[in-house]
Amino acid sequence: MKAFLPPIIFETMWIAKTKSHLKKQLNDCSQPVILVPTMGALHLGHAGLIDMARQRAGKSGTVIVSIFVNAIQFDNAGDFEKYPRPFDADITVCQLHGVDGVFAPGHNEMYFPDRSITVTEELLSKGLCGDTRPGHFDGVCTVVLKLFNLTRCDAAVFGEKDFQQLAIIRRLVRDLDLDVEIILHPTIREIDGLAMSSRNVRLLSGHRKDAPRIRKALLAAGEMTSAQQILDTARQEIEKSPYLKIDYLTLVDAETLSPAANLNTPTILACAVYYDDVRLIDHIGIRR
């Protein structure tokens, strides 16, 4: 990530760490309110989401970035503890990209100690990341619904990289009749093709040099003409790595996310892989 210049206009951006402070700030916010939900560790990919939000909000609207590492969506306590939290750097990114306000609550501010309500999606979350990360999407749905309610946003921007999450959030909005527009931002990549992720900073040097293999494997597979050839090619290319372990590698229907046995409808080739304990995801669309 490129170095950022010192903040230019600090005093115009507010930071709310409690729900009551956020509510007070929202009383003075102009419409539309565009939310960019994040778990912090902001990189150039997040900056792209913020820029899209700023464009949609216009000069007179309000862009809010939430920074909250949501414990209830982590199925691995170690992953939660290791998740980077460079709060000061995150604030600088927000300042330089025209954010109006940051909502950065702690866990006890977001969740009551005796909370007993969880939002569960029961179809789109069953495969892919849902297979190996039990409870993950329940945590995502719960926190996203809370953030929508707390920020009173008109729209929210999400990255396409997390395509299963995006599909689930769209279903959340549809099934619960939420008056929130979901804005899609295409996957943002490093120069070498690796999808930008806050987890990339945890990659060892050798693993980081190897990681562009993921994207290259998917693209090579996408040139094949049958579903089986696509899966075989992707697996062969990924398994050439001395470091990578495949969590899943699959073809799914782009609409339903159910397993796709053929290429008769728009299809997604998706994978999740591990470098030691660092889990990365990526995908490409397959159209015939």
123 shares its domain with 231: no
pLDDT at 209 over 50: yes
31 shares its domain with 69: yes
46 shares its domain with 169: yes
Give me the numbers of helices (H) and strands (E) for the chain, helices first please.
Answer: 11, 9
177 shares its domain with 232: no
> Which tokens go with 230?
């696509």
Domain-ending residue, one of 185, 211, 238? 185
- Is residue 193 domain-resident? no
User: What's the full length of the chain, in residues?
Assistant: 288
Buried-exposed string 89-128: b where 16+ CB fall within 10 A, e elsewhere: bbbbbbbbbbbbbbbbbeeebbbeeeeeeebebeebbebb
pLDDT of residue 18: 98
Strand, helix or coil at 64?
A: strand
Question: With left for phi above 0 and alpha for psi between -120 and 50, is residue 193 left, alpha or beta?
Answer: left
176 shares its domain with 39: yes
216 shares its domain with 140: no
- Is residue 157 domain-resident? yes
166 shares its domain with 39: yes
Give 282's contacts (C-beta < 8 A, 6+ positions apart): 161, 187, 195, 214, 215, 218, 270, 271
Residues 17-74: pLDDT tens digits?
Answer: 999 999 999 999 999 999 999 999 999 999 999 999 999 999 999 999 999 999 999 9
Could you tell me which of 260, 279, 280, 278 has the C-alpha nearest to residue 269? 260
Q: What is the CATH number of the domain that holds 270?
A: 3.30.1300.10
26 shares its domain with 169: yes
Number of folded domains that form the chain: 2
Q: What is the CATH number of the domain that holds 173?
A: 3.40.50.620
Q: Which domain holds residue 224?
A: 198-286
Mean pLDDT of 225-239: 97
pTM check: above 0.85: yes
Residues 99-112: pLDDT tens digits?
Answer: 999 999 999 999 99
Catalytic residues: 46
